[in-house]
């Protein structure tokens, strides 16, 4: 059987409009869940590409759909660990993206100071993209991150349950037109 794409989403709400016939895995929220579930799925299914669809907060006022060219792990002490002699990969390049940068971390970003600090490195923030990209890179499978802005990584992030459906529709349409 020929390898097929594998769609990875953190929540069923984000995956609500994934077209029928595409293989879909819902990981749960956060980098640990995304790493665990993505690794198991990729090892078992051997997809042609991993398509990580989901919502993101904008750090620069952006809206719409983004295909990040780079993803960073924003909540690991990479500089300090590297200085101690334990180099840490905290950034992954993703060929074919739109030039945007996604920062992933297990912190739900609503704090203005955190938002401001992250905006120095990235345009978008989520909680799973880096983990999915790291697993795909480690297992030698191409990856595409597809993120739709659901909020501005501020107090509006708490309205995510009310706006996720609109983002899920856009993500589903991208999958229909791109796979």
pTM of the model: 0.96
Count of domains observed in the chain: 1
Domain assignment present for 177? no
pLDDT for 1 equals 56
Domain assignment present for 158? yes
pLDDT for 142 equals 98
Domain assignment present for 174? no
Domain assignment present for 1? no
Render each residue's pLDDT in the chain as its tens digit; 179 residues. 578 999 999 999 999 999 999 999 999 999 999 999 999 999 999 999 999 999 999 999 999 999 999 999 999 999 999 999 999 999 999 999 999 999 999 988 988 999 999 999 999 999 999 999 999 999 999 999 999 999 999 998 999 999 999 999 999 999 999 99
Domain assignment present for 128? yes
Q: For residue 53, give the CATH number of its domain.
A: 3.40.50.1580
Q: Say how far apart CA 29 and CA 8 lie, in whole Å.
A: 12
pLDDT for 108 equals 87
Domain assignment present for 179? no
Q: Tell me the residue range of the domain where 53 lies.
A: 6-168
Domain assignment present for 176? no
Domain assignment present for 62? yes
Q: Say how far apart CA 16 and CA 38 lie, in whole Å.
A: 18
């Amino acid at each position: 059987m020929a390898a097929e794409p594998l769609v990875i989403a953190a929540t069923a709400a984000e995956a609500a409009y994934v077209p029928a016939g595409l293989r879909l895995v819902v990981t749960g929220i956060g980098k640990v869940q995304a790493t665990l579930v993505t690794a198991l799925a990729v090892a078992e299914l051997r997809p042609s590409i991993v398509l990580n669809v989901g919502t993101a907060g904008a750090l620069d006022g952006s809206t719409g759909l983004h295909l990040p060219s780079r993803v960073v792990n924003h909540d690991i002490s990479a500089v300090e660990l590297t200085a101690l002699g334990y180099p840490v990969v905290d950034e992954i390049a993703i060929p074919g993206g739109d030039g945007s940068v996604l920062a992933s971390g297990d912190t739900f970003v609503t704090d203005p100071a955190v938002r401001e600090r992250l905006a120095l490195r990235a345009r978008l923030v989520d909680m799973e993209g880096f983990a999915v990209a790291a697993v795909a890179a480690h297992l030698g499978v191409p990856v595409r991150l597809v993120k739709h802005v659901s909020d501005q990584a501020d107090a509006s992030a708490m309205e995510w349950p009310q706006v996720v459906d609109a983002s899920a529709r856009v993500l589903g349409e991208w999958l229909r037109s791109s796979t």
